[in-house]
Structure 1
Amino acid sequence: TKVNSEVTMGVTLHRSVTSSLRHHLLFSLSLRSISSSASHLCTSQQHPKTLIPPPPAVPPPPPSPSPSPSQIHINLSPNPNRSPRTRTPLEQQFESWVEKLKPGFTPADVDEALRAQSDPDLALDIFRWTAQQRGYKHNHVSYLTMIQIAVSGKRFRQAETLIDEVIAGACSASTPLYNSMIKFCCGRKFLFNRAFDVYKKMLKSEEAKPSLETYTLLLNSLLRKFNKLNVCYVYLHAVRSLTKQMKASGVIPDTFALNMIIKAYSKCLEVDEAIRVFREMGLYGCEPNAYTYCYLTKGLCEKGRVNQGLGFYKETRSKKLVPKSSTYMILICSLAMERRFEDAIDVVFDMLGNSMAPDLLTYKTLLEGLCRDGRGSDAFELLEELRKRDSLMNEKTYKTLLNGLHFLSRDS
């Protein structure tokens, strides 16, 4: 019990001492803060901060007195040092032609004014200016003249615009105008379909029916597409349709138009149709020419009907007509491949007699065909004879043919 009482007294004494020390520490800290605040206040009173006064306000300037009306003076006289703008020669010509076109001018007057212009741009300006005048409207004559001027002056974009206006109904229809439009469209790569749009418009028109020139232009444009055999069949249907429509409309074809039809059939190896058109030429009063026989001969040889092709060739020569060199060479190769060497040799000599010479491939087909057929000596003799007759055969061609014959003779 005595020990417990001593411990209790010690704890109580420790708490009292700790509490007194804590109060003493807080009191000393508060005194320090008060003294530092007082010293700072004294320092600020001894050295006060200098304040910069704001700048004085600047009074606005007094308004200037407005001048009286008598004091106002505007110089309207032109500057003598400034020269007036000179008009270009094109503007002067345009104004002179506008003055010549008196009020109430007609499409004939405009057509005369357009034809008198050497500059297509000036002609187009006159054409557009007259179209804006009250009471005037272009007709097919003025549109035809303007399209011809634009095409001859290589203003192709303007020509396309004019054609679009005509198709939209800007003027009355006429066959010469539509044929001129078709001719331009057929000559442009990307306007091929536009030409047939104009043709369809002609079929529906009562004033501008298709003529022989119309069908000739369209057939010629179609034949330009016949560059490959698989493409030929695509456009052959259009050729057939045009041929039927031409006959139905009462248009009588000429030799040139019929030759194009024969060429189209021959290109597609439709040789029976080509021969049928050839037989009909007399019904239209047309006489076959060298091109007619060439198309038939080439088509028959490519089809494999060489004997018929040779018959048309002989008919050509009987009429004193000379085939083209390509027809000669196709016929020679076709005869040589069928081992009809005598006929092929006769055609070669006839070709040389007309100042034309076969190419290297044609010579090789004939000479090497003879050599493979066991007639090597005849091939060598023929080569020497061809060298004498063909003035265009050079040394390189001769040696190439000779080496080929030696190679084949050695193997045989």
Structure 2
Amino acid sequence: MLSMVSHPHHTPNPITSACFCSKDLHFPVFPAFSPPRPAPNPFFPLLFNPYHHLSPPLPPNFTPQQLLDAIRRQNDESSVLRLFCWASKQANFTPDSTVYEEVLRKLGRVGSFESMRSILDEMKLVGCSISSGTFFIFIQSYAAFDLYEEILGVVEMMEGQFGCKPDTHFYNFLLNVIVEGNKLKLVETANSVACLVEELSRIAHQIRPALLLIDEMSNQGLHPDEKTFTTLMQGYIEKGDMKGALKMRDQMVAHGCLSMNVTVNVLVNGFCKEGRVEEAFSFIEKMLDESFSPDQFTFNTLVKGRVQVASRLLRSLQMKGLVPSP
């Protein structure tokens, strides 16, 4: 926080921002527009000259569009935040997501990422709508400053801290940014590739962008591993597409990856979920020739599959009024 200094023409009358909550924020009161207010919870420090703007930046009955236009004319972090805080204290105005997101864009363009995060926390605090579009701004801003490692953390932040579920559009956008930035090297290790693919394919209709990621990796000399392909197989199975899962296994073999136990068990589970228990047995017999060793999960899956088939048969007989012989 800058210390207060004397000014030849104006007596300082600091007030605390109504829109932030971590450290005191001081700047001159505009007597005609801002009556004294009790200090709310301060938010974060703002580095600017508190005597820079001594006249109100907008008329008292300003419209949201006028505020947006004024924010867009600002050229630095201090002026953007100062204007936003002044507007937020006006009795006739409450910022909405459009205003907050414009502030985020302006801060992102000058690389003020800590302030962006503070604004995002403020949106959550006041109950302002936060959508995947809000996080697009973070991705674009990080990309503009080549902070691609930060981009990969956006999904975790939006889900874990803000309860915002990424959709197909979000993942396509994320994938495009990574590919266009030629930054797939960020995910060239087995674990990071698998994690990103897992996120991309976690919901069934997001398999396509995950496949595009694998194709792009191959174009750049990167190599997905067995865990990557197994994750995609699981995505197909959850979608109910066993044929797609088996095709993905063929691609895995073509890439020179061996089928480990987890891969075989995923496919066995897929067969059993569709009631194709005999095919599951046949697949296991084939994999035994490739050094597959069935484990407890394998046997449990087969037993469960048998039970499910038997249960479906029993229900079918009962619907037809038939009773199995003892």
TM-score when scaled to structure 2? 0.48
Q: Which structure's CA Rg is the greater one?
A: 1
Higher relative contact order, structure no. (Cα contacts within 8 Å, ≥ 6 residues apart): 2
TM-score when scaled to structure 1? 0.40
